[in-house]
Structure 1
C-alpha cells in the first residue's frame, strides 16, 4: 500500500516522528514552516471585525431568547493556580508566569467552543435569508427575530451538519430556536447524551455507523437534494472559522481588563484541542491577527486521532487520513475523533502554528480528575487535551516565560452520571 506514491516505510524515513506516532505514543512536532510561509488565505482582520459586528447586531435577540447571555456569547478566564501547582509537582516542571483557563466549557447555549463558530454561521445564514426576503434590515432591532412571523418564515428552510457531538449541539439548538428545520448527522462515536439532548430540542438526529468523515459526507449529500437546505461544512467553512476568530478580539479585551500584557517580554502561549481544525484554527488565526509574533499557538490531538499533525507534517493535509497510516481514530475525546483534517484550515495555520502534540486518553482523563480535585471545574476529556501543553513544550523541565492559556473546549452540559463514568 502506498500513500501519495510512497510506502509507509518511506514516509517514516522522511518523517522519523511517525515511528512513535504510529505506535500511539505521545509526541511533539515543531512546525518548521512557522513564520516562513506567506499567508494562504484572503481572510483578514477586517473579516473578523465584520463577524464581531454581526454578533453585536444579534445581541438584542440573544437577550430576549437566551437571557443568560446578556446579549453576548462569551466565556470568562479562570486563574488555575492550584492546578498549576499540581502540574508542577506531578510533571516535575516549573511553569513561570500564570496558568489560565479559557472557560469555553461554560459558553452559553451550547456549553462548548462550538457555540462560537456554529452559532455564528447559523446567525449569518438567518440574517442573509431575512434581509434577502426584505423582512429585516441591518438597522432593525434584531429582537424581532423572536416573533412568530420570523420563526414561521425560517421553518420553510432547512439546515444540516455532520458532527461528532458539540458542533451538532450548537447548530442544532440555535437553528431550532430560530425556527429552522435542522438535521444533525452524527458519527457512531458521538456521545448518546448529546444525541438525546438534541432530540429534546426538536432536532432530527441521523446516526451513522461510520466515523465523522462519513457523517459529514452523508449529511452533505442529503442536503444537496433540497433547494431550501443549507449545509454547514465544518471542514471548509470560512464563516465557522471567522466565528471562532472573533474570540481573539474578546480575549484581548479581557486581558486589558485584567492587566495581562502580551509583548516581547511577556509572550502568550495558547494550547488548543484540535479535531477537524475549524475551532482551534479560527482562534489561532484570530490570535495571530491580534497579537502578532507575541503569541505561540499549539494544537493538541488524541494519540488515536492525530489527523492535523499528520496532514501538516506530510504536507498532504486533507488528502490523507489517520486510517491510511493504520491508526484507528477511536478515542474517548469524541469531539476530537476526526480521521481526516480540514485542508482549508491546515493551509491557513501552517505559517502561524508553533506545533502539534498528542495526548493519550489516559492522560486526558487523569487531567480531568486533577482539574476537578484542585479547582472544582468539570470538563469533558477532550477539553483537557490542552492541559499538558506547558509540560510538553517545556525545555529542560522549565516552561517558557509568559502567560500560559489552556482553552477548555467543553463540559458544562455533560450529565453528572456520564461525567463520573469518564
Structure 2
C-alpha cells in the first residue's frame, strides 16, 4: 500500500475530507481554519513594518539608477510601480460565468504592466538583486549610502559586477526579472529553468546575455541545481525563491505603494468594509510577500486569498495539512502539469507557508480550461492580455461571496494581475483562441 508520510490516502482523506475535490482536480475553495485576527497573527512574526520601510527606502535610493538604466521609468523617477484600475466590465463577465452576484467593486492591480519585466516578479526579484549589488559596493567602498545611485549605471561598476555571478531557479517570470536586472548591472547570470517554463522567456533571457540551463524536471529540481552550483563559487549568489526573506520583503513594498494609490483615488477601506485581495500563488514568495505587507499596513481591513491551479495546489496542500514544504502535490498523485507556468510548483515554500498560515482567509483552485477562458474574457471586455497564471485571481470574488455572506456593496475586490504584457503576440493570439474555444463550449471547463 502506498503511504504518504506514513499514512495511507484513506487516512489522509478521513482526517482532511476536503482532499477529495483537490485530488480529483475539481476547482475548490478552502476556508482557512488557522486564520487569526491581526493582533494575534503578528505576535510572533519574524518581519515587521520597519523591515518593509527599509526595503522601500532601498528602492528609493536605487530609483536614480533605475531611471537612468531604464528610460521607460523616467516618468516615475525610477520607481517601478503598476496601475490600479477599476474592473467593472470584467466583474459583469465573472458574474455571468459563475451565475453569482458579487456585491462590491472590482479593481485590477496590473503588475502585468510593471516596467522592466512585466510581472509581479519585478518586485521581489529586482529588489534582491539591487540589495546584493548595494552590499557588494558598500563592502568594497565603491559606494556610500549618501551617493546618488545613478552613477552605478557607469562602465566602472559594470566591470566590478562582472566578476560576480547571480543564480536562480525559476519556472519563468522570476528568472526573467532577475536575469534582466542582473545583466543590466553587469553581473554574470545563470538561470536554471524547469521544463514547464515558456520557451519565449528562455529566448528573451538569452538575448540579454543570460545563461539559461534547462531541466527536464520541475521547478524544485531547477532550484536545487541552482543552489548547488552557487555553493561551488564564493563569488556566486543564489536567490532562493523558497526561503529568501529579502525576496519576500521586495514584494511587501507593494502594500505601501498601494496605500498611496487608494488614497489618491479616495478609496476607503475599514474592517467593516474590507478590501478582498486575490493573489495567484506558486511557491508562495510573491503572493505571500504582498499579502504580508498588506496585512501589516491595513490590518484586519484587508482579507487575502491565494489562487492555485487544480493541477498544482502546493500551498493549499501544505497549509491544509500543516505539513508545508514537507509534502508535495506529487506525493498525493497530482501531476503538477499546468499552462500556468509561474504556478507550476509541486512543493510550497515552508518559510512562506508558516508565515502566512494565520494571515490569509482562504485558498482556491482554478482549472487550466477556465484560465484560458478568462484570458479571452479579459481581452474582450478590458482589452488587457494576461498570462494563464495571472487570471486565476478573477475567480476569487465568486468563491468568497459563496462562502461569506458578510460581503457588502461597500467592499472592494482587488484582483492582482501578476503578468502578461511581455508575452509575444503570436502566443497571445494562441491563448486567446484557446480561450474562445472554451468560451463557446462552457461544458469543457
Please give the TM-score of this superposition, normalised by the length of structure 2. 0.93
Shift of 1:5: 2.1
Q: Secondary structure at the match of 1:171?
A: helix
Q: 2:73 matched to 1:69?
A: yes
Q: Distance in 1 between matches of 2:101 and 2:107?
A: 15
Q: Corresponding residue for 1:15?
A: 16
Q: Which runs of 5+ in 2 are unaligned?
A: 432-445
Q: 2:152 matched to 1:152?
A: no
Q: Which runs of 5+ in 1 are unaligned?
A: none
Equivalences for residues 52-201 of structure 1 within 5 A: 52-70=56-74, 71-201=78-208
Deviations for 1:307-362, whole angstroms, at most 9, x for unmatched residues? 00000000000000000000000000000000000000000001111000000001
Q: 2:412 matched to 1:403?
A: yes
Contact 1:95/1:398, CA 8 A, preserved across alignment: no
Q: Secondary structure at the match of 1:353?
A: coil
1:414 to 411, 419, 423: 423
Taking a change above 3 Å as real, the CA distance of residues 75 and 396 of structure 1, as seen in their structure-2 partners, is closer
Shift of 1:399: 8.1
> What RMSD, in angstroms, separates the aligned Cα atoms of the two structures?
1.2
1:386 to 383, 393, 397: 393
Q: Distance in 2 between matches of 1:398 and 1:378?
A: 32
Contact 1:94/1:398, CA 8 A, preserved across alignment: no
Q: Distance in 2 between matches of 1:129 and 1:86?
A: 50
Q: Distance in 1 between matches of 2:165 and 2:403?
A: 54
Q: Secondary structure at the match of 1:161?
A: strand
User: Is the deviation greater in 305-314 or in 92-101?
Assistant: 92-101
User: Is the deviation greater in 22-31 or in 392-401?
Assistant: 392-401
Q: 2:48 matched to 1:41?
A: no
Contact 1:93/1:398, CA 8 A, preserved across alignment: no
Q: Corresponding residue for 1:341?
A: 348
User: Is the deviation greater in 240-249 or in 87-96?
Assistant: 87-96
Q: Distance in 1 between matches of 2:169 and 2:201?
A: 13
Shift of 1:139: 0.3
User: Is the deviation greater in 67-76 or in 245-254?
Assistant: 67-76
Q: Corresponding residue for 2:330?
A: 323
Q: Distance in 2 between matches of 1:134 and 1:291?
A: 39
Q: Corresponding residue for 2:442?
A: none
User: Is the deviation greater in 67-76 or in 156-165?
Assistant: 67-76
Q: Distance in 1 between matches of 2:400 and 2:307?
A: 11
Equivalences for residues 185-334 of structure 1 within 5 A: 185-334=192-341
Contact 1:269/1:295, CA 8 A, preserved across alignment: yes
Deviations for 1:272-292, whole angstroms, at most 9, x for unmatched residues? 000000000000100000110
Q: Distance in 2 between matches of 1:374 and 1:164?
A: 29
Shift of 1:69: 1.4
Taking a change above 3 Å as real, the CA distance of residues 397 and 251 of structure 1, as seen in their structure-2 partners, is closer
Q: Distance in 1 between matches of 2:148 and 2:102?
A: 47
Shift of 1:142: 0.2
Shift of 1:91: 1.6
Q: Distance in 2 between matches of 1:97 and 1:393?
A: 12
Q: Distance in 1 between matches of 2:73 and 2:394?
A: 27
Q: Distance in 2 between matches of 1:4 and 1:137?
A: 51
Please give the TM-score of this superposition, normalised by the length of structure 1. 0.98
Contact 2:279/2:393, CA 8 A, preserved across alignment: yes
Shift of 1:90: 2.3
